[in-house]
Amino acid sequence: MANRPQIAVLISGSGSNLQAIIDGCQSGQIEAEICVVVSNNEEAFGLQRAEKAGIPTQILDHRNYENREAYDSELVHCLNQYQPDLLVLAGFMRILTPLFTEAFVGKLINIHPSLLPKYPGLHTHRRALDAGDSHHGATVHFVTAELDGGPPILQASIQILDGDTEKSIASRVLSEVEHKIYPLAVKWFVEKRVQMIDGKAWLDGELVGSSGFQYGKEEKT
In a domain, 219, yes or no: no
Edge-to-edge, what's the strand order for the sheet holding 194-197? 194-197, 200-203, 206-207
- Sequence-separated (6 or more) residues with CB below 8 Å from residue 158: 135, 136, 137, 169, 172, 173, 176, 177
Report yes or no on 221 lying in a domain. no
Which CATH number covers residue 21? 3.40.50.170
Q: Is 185 helix (H, G, I), strand (E, B) or coil?
A: helix
Element (H, E) at 101: helix 98-103
220 inside domain: no
Q: Which amino acid is at 155?
A: Q
Does 100 fall in a domain? Answer: yes
Res 218: pLDDT: 79
Catalytic residues: 112
Three-state DSSP at 65 gives coil
Residue 202 domain-assigned?
yes
**Per-residue pLDDT tens over the stretch 12-22:** 999 999 999 99
Q: Give yes or no for a contact between 33 and 59, defined as CB atoms under 8 angstroms apart.
A: no
Q: Does residue 197 lie in a domain region?
A: yes
- The whole domain housing 102 covers 6-214
- pLDDT bucket at 220, cuts 50 / 70 / 90: confident
- pTM, full prediction: 0.96
Confidence of residue 1 (pLDDT cuts 50, 70, 90): very low
**How many domains does the chain contain in total?**
1
Nearest to 182 by CA among 93, 111, 98, 103: 111
